[in-house]
Amino acid sequence: MLITVVGQGYVGLPGAVAIASAGHIVYAAESDPVRLASLTRCHSYIAEVDSEDLRRLSEAGRYRPVHDASRAPSCDVYLIATPTTLTPHRTPDLRHIDTALADIARSARPGALIVLESTIYPGALRHHVAPLFEKLSRLRAGTDVHFAYSPERLDPGRDTVLEEVPKLVSGLDACSGRMARDFYRTIFRHVVEVSGAEVAEFAKLLENTFRYVNIAYVNELSKTAKAMNIPFREVVAAAASKPFGFMPFHHGPGVGGHCLPSNLHYLNYVLATAGAPSELLAAAERINGSMPDYTVERLRLVLSRTRTPLRGARVLVLGLAFKAGVADDRDSPAYAISDSLVHAGADVRVADAWVARQPATDSFRLVELTAEECAAADAILLVTDHRDVDYDLVLNSGTVILDCRGHLDAQEVEQL
């Protein structure tokens, strides 16, 4: 089959490789010129995709980078895996999806299946995506072309085989649902078909906000546990020994990444539209949003024990990525923490070998983790616990350490 995958980011690129590996011919549409050039050279910019796999599939003619969907021939299936962002008012911003639909409309022919994999709110496929495409193409949804929704389920930084993760699928109508199910069965081991697009759309938001809310819960309890001098990570580990009715979540310096924070607003948007905004989601956002400032206050307290004021102190932050094992620094709590540290008068350095370029910020300077940097710091703040870090170098530096992730098991390390 001929497949166009629009968007070659953290969702689209692994998906395109999986589809091409299953034997399909994939036109990989990527509008960013830097990324497109990288893909043309068979160079992967995502840790989960090996450059040699790109080269192998490219040489076999099954992975073909293009600037946009209109540059590809008419395909059997179009997958949209573009970012879904927020407006300044924190409402859903579907402009990237709209652009993808306009490009697809210029090449799609009757009989095509169009599948949205980007995270959206319940009802968006039926009331926004399909009507817009009909207007752009003059092809009728459910008659000329078919629409389905199949949310991505990726966990960057983990050694997860994409094809082994159950694939949720749904269509705007029964025929579209069957087409999507049959297509994804050529790629994924387990395909779960649900009754309608709205079910799948809601399920995706439930999955991510479930995690967000539970992180807020343990973040809130961790503060009280610290005040009571109770090691909260041990509390969670003890509770996790129960084989039913409990799922462990861990507190930290904040919640980052593209998905969890934005998905909360996507869900609350549709809940508010239905007249039932969630007080729980609003509370979770406040709690998780408070963690960077709480982290800075904890560091201030730790430094005070050595009679070192935070103002004027040099702080080395370990980790800029929003989670371990990824190079993605979008909405990382490290940014809010560094801003708060600078506001308090600290001098901030950040070390993260996964992030190659100095970000556009005046709050800190990106440095390499060296013995000299550790020794020059008044405090080291572990924000992102990448595996490939010389933690012995950190522990042997003699510098005050605040571990926000529970990664360093040493008596001299202060835990968040």
Read off the pLDDT of residues 297-323 as tens digits, 9 standing for 90 and up: 999 999 999 999 999 999 999 999 999
The DSSP-derived string for 208-252 is HHHHHHHHHHHHHHHHHHHHTT--HHHHHHHHTTSSSS-------
Q: How confident is the model at residue 46 (pLDDT cuts 50, 70, 90)?
A: confident
Instruction: Using a pLDDT cut of 70, give the percent of the chain over it.
Output: 100
CA 223 to chain centre: 26
Residues annotated catalytic, as ranges: 259
- The CA distance from 342 to 335, in Å, is 11
Give CATH 3.40.50.720 domain extents, the chain: 2-195, 290-415
Strand order in the sheet with 314-318: 365-367, 347-351, 314-318, 379-382, 400-403, 414-415
Q: Which residues contact 348 (CB under 8 A, 6 or more apart)?
A: 314, 315, 317, 338, 341, 342, 363, 364, 365
pTM of the full structure: 0.91
Specify the residue for token string 């924070």. Answer: 261
Nearest to 210 by CA among 152, 273, 259: 259
Are the C-beta atoms of residues 18 and 163 closer than 8 Å to each other?
A: yes
Q: Does 227 score more than 90 pLDDT?
A: yes
- pLDDT at position 349, please? 96
Q: Pick from 254, 393, 397, 238: which is nearest to 314 by CA?
A: 397
CATH, domain range 2-195: 3.40.50.720
User: Is the confidence at residue 43, as pLDDT, over 90?
Assistant: yes
Secondary element (H or E) of residue 381: strand 379-382
Cα 52 off chain centre by: 24
Query: Tens of pLDDT along 84-104?
Result: 999 998 899 999 999 999 999
State residue 261's pLDDT score.
Answer: 83
Q: How far apart are CA 168 and CA 389, in angstroms?
A: 36
Rounded to whole angstroms, the Cα distance separating 145 from 389 reads: 50
Q: Are 56 and 73 in contact (CB under 8 A)?
A: no
Could you name the CATH architecture of 290-415?
3-Layer(aba) Sandwich (3.40)
Q: Write out pLDDT tens, residues 349-395.
A: 999 999 878 888 888 999 999 999 999 999 999 999 999 899 999 99
Mean pLDDT to the nearest integer, 185-213: 96
CA 406 vs CA 150, 251, 363: distances in Å: 35, 9, 25
Residue 157 has a pLDDT of 67
Q: How far apart are the first and last CA of the chain?
A: 52
Query: Helix, strand or coil for residue 45?
Result: coil
Cα gap 416→402, rounded to integer Å: 7
